[in-house]
A and B are shown apart, each in its own frame.
Chain A
Amino acid sequence: MAPQSLQQILLSPAELSYLHTSLSSNPPIRPDGRTATQFRPLIAESDILPGTNGSARICFADGTEAVVGVKAEVERSSGISRDVDGEGEGEEGVKKGRNEWVEISVDIPGERDDDSNPIFLAAVLSEALLADGEFVERLWINRHFHWRLYLDVLLLSPPLSYPLPLLSLTTHLALLTTRLPKLLSEKDEDPLFSDDWDASEPLYHPPHTSHPPITLLVMAVQETIIFDPSKEELAVADAVLAVSLSESPTSNSSSQDTEMEMDVEGGKKRNLRLLAVRTIDPPSRLTHKGLANKVNTATGGTAQKNLEDGGGDGEEGVWCPPRGGAKRGLIKEMIGRVLERGGVGEEVLDGLCGAEL
């Protein structure tokens, strides 16, 4: 989907062409001197809203900041079979969750609730969260009751760049710090919770179960793959993907190996799992073609008499908005880079773990 309401790109075709060329070299030359896989520093803090079950705030280096608050409410389950004990859902050990139990709402300043942008962003975030089907099981209390989770994602600054990675990271952090009151009642009784907040249990029990997902933006300029693109870099992208990944529960056999290497690398090896991939229409498609010098009357060229002359098409240095999709090989490469061991995904997750608690 085209992020149409993002601020217009105020770069001239020459600038666009310049950026494109420098980014497509190998290694890419980025305007701020970062390497292809280097992320800008961010500041994160959690538990900032005392009234919520979990909250987090992340500020990116370009000045954008987002706050996410998570609230939970007990709700009666309906429709799940009211059969006499023993039938229907099988034994009581079977917990079945439902996707309606999670509600994500995104608020972007300057946009209405029903604008396409917030809805799309909310859909991407919830898709990632619900993709493995295991998250909603944590919300199950008993056969007749469940938790309903409300995630309110607020972008506090005007959207200077595509806000998806920021919102996703903030949601990840907020979910990590979410706590639910401790259940005292047993089995199918009406739920009774402990008064003590300190006895509450985190939604994601560390460290063995899986973590909430994150969504990263990956862009490609010809053959070069770049992570954490800034606004200018996105303006010249050939292909942009939003990749959602999470860490799957580590199996027993590999945990022994990973533990030994933990101290050495400062982070354990994670089993990353791809949850979703979405293509984002880069803003570069909305730009205008540049004019080659030789057909530009301002620089001493002659204007084209007819369009078929086509002069300047594909000429080096003349900006041309990208057309067509990305090659499959390229997409595969992009995804692979995100998920590989020691790659970008792990780096981000490690970084966020450090911010936790």
Chain B
Amino acid sequence: MTSLKRSLVSDPYASNISSKVYVRSTKAGKVQKIVRELYLRQDIPCSSKLCTACLKNAPRDASGILAPFVLSAKPAGTKKYTQGHYLVPDTNALLNALDLFEQKSAFYDVIILQTVLEELRNRSIPLYNRLIGLTKSEEKRFHVFFNDFRLETYVTRGEGVSINDRNDRAVRRAVKWYSEHLAQAVKAADGKSGQVPAVVMLSDDKENLKKAKKDGIDSCSLREYVDGLDDANNLLDMIAVVKEGREIKDTKMVQKVHKDYLTVSKMMTGVKNGTLHQGIFNVTPYNYLVGSIKVPAFDKPLMILGRESMNRAVHGDVVVVEVLTKDQWKEASTKIIEEETINKDENADAEDGEAVVTEREQRALQEEVKRVHSKTSEGRAQPTAKVVGVIKRNWRQCVGHIEESSVSKSGKPQMVFLIPMDKKIPKIRVRTRQAAEIVGKRVLVTIDSWDVDSRYPVGHFVRSLGDVENKAAETEALLLEYDVQYRPFPKAVLDCLPAEGHDWIVPPSTDDPGWQDRRDLRHLQICSIDPIGCQDIDDALHARPLPNGNFEVGVHIADVSHFVKPNSAMDAEASIRGTSVYLVDKRIDMLPMLLGTDLCSLKPYVQRYAFSAIWEITPDAEIVNSEFTKSVIKSREAFSYEQAQLRVDDQSQQDDLTLAIRTLLTLSKKFKQKRMDAGALSLSSPEVKVEMESETSDPIDVKTKKHLDTMSLVEEFMLLANTSVAAKIYSAFPQTAMLRRHGAPPKTNFEELALQLKTKRGLELSVDSSKALADSLDTCIDPNEPFFNTLVRIMATRCMMAAEYFCSGTQAYPEFRHYGLASEIYTHFTSPIRRYADLVAHRQLAAAIDYEPIHAAVRSKGKLEAVCRNINVRHRNAQLAGRASIEYYVGQALKGRIVEEEGFVMKVFSNGFVVFVPRFGIESLIRLRDLAEPEPEGVFDAEEYVLETKGSREIRVELFGKVVVRISDVLEEKTGKRVVKSEFVKSGGKE
């Protein structure tokens, strides 16, 4: 009979075919045997500019274009390899020190093998993504060589050989082949053998290095290699802490400080049958020993109390928890506990015999347990849990500074503690040689691991940002903390801009294809109203009376979707950035400036492309009809809010433009009234403006923003536009419209605030509907204190859910509601220059009006959901970054000054209270021990929200009470930071 088996002997192509067999388990639990055939080739090029043979045989793509060779003909040399060298890193070298490879000072001409790339992808996706970014950058000259597809470098696994060993052998084989191949190439070009660059394998695996020596391959460990480079000291710090040397320690019993994690299968089984729960671990902002986790099974988040229960989970990780038995449930914390204070003066080097919970921590926790029996929910025990395993770590690079007390002044390598800027992340142990130099600087570090036997996580140093007080360093630190992409736009993105650059104009002739389907609205009296100094003008308005007594009102938005096409590099970059970030003195743009401030911006006196929404409105602000169209406009004037307000108020001005603005103003007032009647909320965030000296950009003063009528004008019409567009794109794309919703807050969020208002002021807060809430907020006034109402609104804002972008197919229609605006359906449409969501809405609207066919990317629900997730995160980060920037500047504005200001008590703890100062828009924490030396004894009445002190100083503060604080800036000795410090002066107002 003829054999059915693929007989490799008789097949002429047999040596070129190989197969891989493995087992794949699907999520549903199916287990499949997968067989993949591999066709091995001989024409995969080595990509070295020295080699002409590969150039001849290299495969070309469909258009006949050859991928250019990357590796340079004259690569850099080191002390050891003077004739130049190419580097071939092993997987562990990349895992431990990817930051090193990203350095500009060394590590060029690197060959990344396919085996190594795939192993890296299986181990760590973020590192893999970073490596791919490196390979795409042209200046670093990284080349991915597909050694598993190339016949000469393909290695089969022997019997009983592990996958790791096989991969190591593949790496060695590839290195050997490369050196032989290059030698041949140089010989063919009649070069001397001294010119052949060495091919060096970098690995931290001792076995691999030994075998490489036996095979006669150039190899060295990372440390050795880095030693041979200039700038070795800096670079050596960046190598992550490796686990070697642990074997020696094992002989004396390594004391397990934390509990081991459960195995993955145990955790999965537990989650599936409901005994364990999975969720994202959060640390509470005021108390670093208390964490919480929201799981689907419980309404309220579960509490995780204490270091032992947290078991090495870091804020943001996806963890699995087990609920503790009822007798172990603890009460919610009313103390402020900061790691800095409790755990200072610890020895960074101490690695043995550490307890998880130090005495000081234990004491702090124990005082929690001594609770007076009380009626509030704070007194009752809440479900508590402990962490039993981590599914995914979300460690990112964090910014922080070295703890001074942990540094010894010698130049030797030592372990120091790094305190991250974000209080939710614990101290990190870092080994460095340059401790003395980087004290007092802001540095960037990454956490590498947190072992079972270590009290703190261990990490490595990436780079220094600059001195702590230095503005540039601080700004960079802020941007890094909130994960804002601030690097300049790469070349690929800039290539997407129109070639004419600043000379681009709207085509003058209306027959030009650019005019197709665009309406000519250049005759309309259009103007824009924006903050002072605004250059990226997104929106413009016009209004004119119609013969039938109604008004024609138009909102014109910059037509960004004309310039940013889907799936282009610029679109990808904008999608990742998600939004423009506004810091006090800087703006990180989502789109390149050419578009944002020139071509797309609706600047006055020039013609621009726009996307217009035009309504016919009765004088009573009823909408008769609406339409959307692409257009060309010419804005007549660009006003600032103040200028527009002045112009409206000035009765002598009677030209068309001013009349139009007045019409808009009256209509906007009517719209606003309608919204309020429907239950829209007017909530307050503390808005603060920092005035800066023009030359040095040093802040002079801080003022709260005044609210003008013209601001409401613009706001109302933007809301109208957004709502109309939302309805239109939803009707065209019911499954995939990009919308924005604001969920109704659950009653429990308001419980505490309602109780506080009732107890202190006898006021009712009704949360049945947004109208009820709005009305009851209106009644929360204090006749003696006008600011009280704003304070309550600020606190109410914090109880709200966050508004989020979503894809219409993922929610039912009732969920589309925007609670805060009391609108059934809403989206963001009016700021495409600074928000990616608006750009998507533009594309969808253009398809809805049949201007252009819908692009697949904007139609796919999966893609849109991913986009929504990203922009929600970016939006939040941008807000936080903006606030942090204001805080920093407020601190700077106060430099050297001492100001006494009025404030209001927002929150009361047993050992302190939080004061909100409206002038600066800041919240400061005043601890009992800050009041006087020695610390006065505090008596905390949890039900009446009153804190009284006895002893060295006697004060009485109550919630919502007015106090006077002295605000100054102080240089903290141990951190070298300048912080805003508030001192309590007295209760009551400033007389």
Chain A bound to chain B: yes
- Please state if A196 and B163 are interface contacts (CB–CB under 8 Å): yes
Contact bitstring B254-280, A, C-beta under 8 A = 1, else 0? 000000000111101100100000000
- Please state if B35 and A192 are interface contacts (CB–CB under 8 Å): no
CB-based nearest B residue for A49 = B4
A59 within 8 A of B: yes
- Please state if B22 and A74 are interface contacts (CB–CB under 8 Å): no
- Please state if B5 and A65 are interface contacts (CB–CB under 8 Å): no
Q: In the complex, A189→B157 CA distance in Å?
A: 31
- Please state if B29 and A190 are interface contacts (CB–CB under 8 Å): yes
Q: Interface residues of A, CB < 8 Å — how many? A: 32
CB-based nearest B residue for A182 = B23
- Please state if B23 and A181 are interface contacts (CB–CB under 8 Å): yes
Given contacts A50-B35, A181-B23, contact A190 B1 (CB under 8 A): no
When distances are taken between beta carbons in the complex, the residues of chain A under 8 Å from B3 are 45, 48
Give chain B nearest CB distance to A245 CB in angstroms. Answer: 27
Contact bitstring B20-44, A, C-beta under 8 A = 1, else 0? 0111110001110101000000000
Q: In the complex, A57→B1 CA distance in Å?
A: 10
Out of B21, B263, B265, B266, which one reaches A197, CB within 8 Å? Answer: B21
B652 within 8 A of A: no
Out of B1, B22, B30, B268, which one reaches A59, CB within 8 Å? Answer: B1
A184 within 8 A of B: yes
Out of B4, B25, B163, B265, which one reaches A57, CB within 8 Å? Answer: B4
Q: In the complex, A186→B263 CA distance in Å?
A: 9
In the complex, chain A residues 268-324 whose Cβ is within 8 Å of any chain B Cβ: none
Given contacts A74-B29, A185-B265, A190-B265, contact A50 B1 (CB under 8 A): no
Secondary structure of the B contact surface, majority rule: mixed
B19 within 8 A of A: yes
- Please state if A198 and B157 are interface contacts (CB–CB under 8 Å): yes
| Most chain A CB inside 10 Å of its own CB: which residue of B1, B22, B25 | B1
Q: In the complex, A53→B35 CA distance in Å?
A: 11
- Please state if A190 and B25 are interface contacts (CB–CB under 8 Å): no
Give chain B nearest CB distance to A58 CB in angstroms. Answer: 9
| Most chain A CB inside 10 Å of its own CB: which residue of B3, B4, B264 | B4
A193 within 8 A of B: yes
Q: In the complex, A198→B21 CA distance in Å?
A: 8
When distances are taken between beta carbons in the complex, the residues of chain A under 8 Å from B25 are 192-193
In the complex, chain A residues 48-68 whose Cβ is within 8 Å of any chain B Cβ: 48, 50-53, 57, 59, 65, 67
When distances are taken between beta carbons in the complex, the residues of chain A under 8 Å from B24 are 195
In the complex, chain B residues 91-143 whose Cβ is within 8 Å of any chain A Cβ: none
- Please state if B31 and A48 are interface contacts (CB–CB under 8 Å): no
- Please state if A189 and B35 are interface contacts (CB–CB under 8 Å): no
Out of A65, A184, A195, which one reaches B1, CB within 8 Å? Answer: A65
Q: In the complex, A181→B24 CA distance in Å?
A: 10
Out of B1, B31, B264, B269, which one reaches A193, CB within 8 Å? Answer: B31
- Please state if B30 and A73 are interface contacts (CB–CB under 8 Å): yes
Q: In the complex, A57→B29 CA distance in Å?
A: 31
When distances are taken between beta carbons in the complex, the residues of chain A under 8 Å from B23 are 181, 193-197, 200
When distances are taken between beta carbons in the complex, the residues of chain A under 8 Å from B263 are 185-186, 189
- Please state if A192 and B4 are interface contacts (CB–CB under 8 Å): no
A43 within 8 A of B: yes
Given contacts A185-B263, A197-B22, contact A48 B4 (CB under 8 A): yes
Contact bitstring A164-184, B, C-beta under 8 A = 1, else 0? 000000000000000001001
Out of A57, A67, A73, which one reaches B31, CB within 8 Å? Answer: A73
Q: In the complex, A76→B269 CA distance in Å?
A: 13
Give chain B nearest CB distance to A56 CB in angstroms. Answer: 10
- Please state if B1 and A74 are interface contacts (CB–CB under 8 Å): no
Give chain B nearest CB distance to A168 CB in angstroms. Answer: 19
CB-based nearest A residue for B270 = A189
Out of B21, B31, B268, which one reaches A74, CB within 8 Å? Answer: B31
Q: In the complex, A196→B19 CA distance in Å?
A: 14
Give chain B nearest CB distance to A328 CB in angstroms. Answer: 41
A350 within 8 A of B: no
CB-based nearest B residue for A51 = B35
CB-based nearest B residue for A58 = B1
- Please state if B5 and A45 are interface contacts (CB–CB under 8 Å): yes
Out of A47, A72, A76, which one reaches B5, CB within 8 Å? Answer: A47
When distances are taken between beta carbons in the complex, the residues of chain A under 8 Å from B269 are 185, 188-190
When distances are taken between beta carbons in the complex, the residues of chain A under 8 Å from B163 are 196
When distances are taken between beta carbons in the complex, the residues of chain A under 8 Å from B22 are 195-197
- Please state if A189 and B1 are interface contacts (CB–CB under 8 Å): no
Give chain A nearest CB distance to B939 CB in angstroms. Answer: 51
Q: In the complex, A48→B4 CA distance in Å?
A: 6
Give chain B nearest CB distance to A57 CB in angstroms. Answer: 6
When distances are taken between beta carbons in the complex, the residues of chain A under 8 Å from B21 are 50, 197-198
| Most chain B CB inside 10 Å of its own CB: which residue of A57, A188, A192, A194 | A192
- Please state if B33 and A190 are interface contacts (CB–CB under 8 Å): no
When distances are taken between beta carbons in the complex, the residues of chain B under 8 Å from A194 are 23
When distances are taken between beta carbons in the complex, the residues of chain A under 8 Å from B4 are 45, 48, 57, 67
- Please state if A186 and B265 are interface contacts (CB–CB under 8 Å): yes
- Please state if A181 and B31 are interface contacts (CB–CB under 8 Å): yes
CB-based nearest B residue for A60 = B1
- Please state if B265 and A192 are interface contacts (CB–CB under 8 Å): yes
CB-based nearest A residue for B21 = A197
When distances are taken between beta carbons in the complex, the residues of chain B under 8 Å from A192 are 25, 264-265, 268
- Please state if B31 and A190 are interface contacts (CB–CB under 8 Å): no
When distances are taken between beta carbons in the complex, the residues of chain B under 8 Å from A67 are 4
When distances are taken between beta carbons in the complex, the residues of chain A under 8 Å from B272 are 190
Q: In the complex, A189→B266 CA distance in Å?
A: 6
- Please state if A74 and B30 are interface contacts (CB–CB under 8 Å): yes
Q: In the complex, A138→B83 CA distance in Å?
A: 62
- Please state if A197 and B5 are interface contacts (CB–CB under 8 Å): no
When distances are taken between beta carbons in the complex, the residues of chain A under 8 Å from B19 are 50
CB-based nearest B residue for A76 = B29
Q: In the complex, A73→B32 CA distance in Å?
A: 8
CB-based nearest B residue for A75 = B29
Given contacts A181-B23, A185-B265, A196-B163, contact A43 B31 (CB under 8 A): no
Give chain A nearest CB distance to B118 CB in angstroms. Answer: 13
Give chain A nearest CB distance to B168 CB in angstroms. Answer: 16
When distances are taken between beta carbons in the complex, the residues of chain B under 8 Å from A189 are 263, 265-266, 268-269
| Most chain B CB inside 10 Å of its own CB: which residue of A50, A53, A72, A191 | A50
| Most chain B CB inside 10 Å of its own CB: which residue of A184, A193, A198 | A198
When distances are taken between beta carbons in the complex, the residues of chain A under 8 Å from B31 are 72-74, 181, 191, 193
When distances are taken between beta carbons in the complex, the residues of chain A under 8 Å from B266 are 185-186, 189
When distances are taken between beta carbons in the complex, the residues of chain A under 8 Å from B268 are 189-190, 192
When distances are taken between beta carbons in the complex, the residues of chain B under 8 Å from A45 are 3-5
Give chain B nearest CB distance to A130 CB in angstroms. Answer: 23
Give chain A nearest CB distance to B49 CB in angstroms. Answer: 39
When distances are taken between beta carbons in the complex, the residues of chain B under 8 Å from A196 are 22-23, 163
Give chain A nearest CB distance to B81 CB in angstroms. Answer: 37
Q: In the complex, A48→B7 CA distance in Å?
A: 10
Q: In the complex, A196→B23 CA distance in Å?
A: 6
Contact bitstring B689-711, A, C-beta under 8 A = 1, else 0? 00000000000000000000000
| Most chain A CB inside 10 Å of its own CB: which residue of B23, B24, B30 | B23
Q: In the complex, A197→B22 CA distance in Å?
A: 5
Given contacts A197-B21, A197-B22, A200-B23, contact A48 B5 (CB under 8 A): yes
In the complex, chain A residues 80-138 whose Cβ is within 8 Å of any chain B Cβ: none
CB-based nearest A residue for B1 = A59
In the complex, chain A residues 175-226 whose Cβ is within 8 Å of any chain B Cβ: 181, 184-186, 188-198, 200
CB-based nearest A residue for B24 = A195
Give chain A nearest CB distance to B14 CB in angstroms. Answer: 15
Contact bitstring B803-814, A, C-beta under 8 A = 1, else 0? 000000000000
Name the 6 nearest CB pairs between A and B, nearest first: A185-B265, A192-B265, A189-B269, A197-B21, A59-B1, A189-B265
List 16 interface pairs A-B (beta carbons < 8 Å), by A numbering: A45-B4, A50-B21, A51-B35, A53-B33, A59-B1, A73-B31, A74-B30, A185-B269, A188-B269, A189-B266, A190-B269, A191-B29, A191-B31, A195-B23, A195-B24, A196-B22
* Other A-B pairs beyond A185-B266, A189-B263, A191-B29, 7, CB < 8 Å: A48-B3, A181-B31, A181-B33, A185-B265, A190-B268, A192-B25, A194-B23
